[in-house]
Amino acid sequence: MKKASIISKQGKPDLARVVGPVATWLRGHGYTVTADPAAREFCASAQLVEREDLVEAQPDFVVVLGGDGTLLSTARCVARAGIPILGVNLGSLGFLTEVKQDEIEHALAEIDAGRGELSLRPMLHCQVQREGMCVASYEALNEIVLNQSAVARITDFELRVNGMFVSTYKADGLIIATPTGSTAYSLAAGGPILSPEVPGFVITPVASHALTNRPLVVRDTAVIEARILVTREQAFLTVDGQEGMPLAESDVVRCRKSEYQVKLFRFAGRSFFDVLRMKLKWGER
């Protein structure tokens, strides 16, 4: 039996008119439908499943109704099981949730017919090393960020790539981003945009106190180590802007390419550059 899950962002005003038709379409085409609490409010016949339990529900794919934040949290839950995601944009920008509301039925029909192409997005695996021991590990689709809670206070970082010393930074923060994350916080901090097919990571200092400290692109086979040398306030590691932990001086955050990847549905006729042009309003051809 075919299965699909609906995941949505609590409080989105469009949910009331979007969730019901999506669930009806899926059931009408032979799918058993599960939904998280936010979506199930508008499709009571769907089986309830928490986002963290999606893998156990074993859907053929997940429909994410919301913005990039909703998709990011869903992606971290399902990546290890290889479950594909259809991202529908109910937000304002949305580089990842690129399907528009009036395109949902067409997108679902393409998937059901086996014509939905997949964009494979690499993830970043990071470990926090404290006194030689791993105290935490995370998977990120967009980026990991090292910074501190106080406004306008700098932190000293040491950066190494494959064990080789790169530089020390006096900056408000340090971003290590995947190609997918290159259009997120890294872009806002002055980093370059990487096409999803580029096998690399971007290391971007935030508000560096040395104008010569520029964003750096390295191969995705690299092991990246960022160590906090001096922090004047409590430092934090943040993963995809949604989870993380406090850091102590001399903690090392070690990053490498994850063994997992995120599968996003994309559709013929819309390239990554079409999405950039539309979202960043670069102008028509």
Q: Hey, where are the domains in the chain? A: 2-116+267-279, 123-260
What average pLDDT score do residues 130-155 get?
88
The H-or-E segment that residue 274 falls in is helix 272-279
Q: Which of 31, 90, 41 is nearest to 62 (CA)?
A: 31
Residue 149 has pLDDT above 80, yes or no: no
Residues recorded for the chain? 285
Homologous superfamily of 2-116+267-279 in CATH?
A: Probable inorganic polyphosphate/atp-NAD kinase; domain 1 (3.40.50.10330)
Q: How far is the C-alpha of 161 from the C-alpha of 224, rounded, in Å?
A: 5
Mode of pairing for the β-strands spanning 164-171 and 155-161: antiparallel
Evaluate whether 182 touches 142 at the Cβ level (below 8 Å). no
Phi, psi of 50 (to 5 degrees): -75, 150
Selected residue with higher pLDDT from 210 and 225: 225
Q: Which residues pair with 203 in a beta bridge?
A: 176, 216
- The architecture that CATH gives domain 123-260 is Sandwich (2.60)
Residue 212 is predicted with a pLDDT of 82
Establish whether 68 is a catalytic residue.
Answer: yes
Residue 148 is predicted with a pLDDT of 81
The CA radius of gyration of the chain, in Å to the nearest whole number, is 20
Residue 150 is predicted with a pLDDT of 62
AA letter at 88: V
**Catalytic site residue from 36, 60, 68, 112:** 68
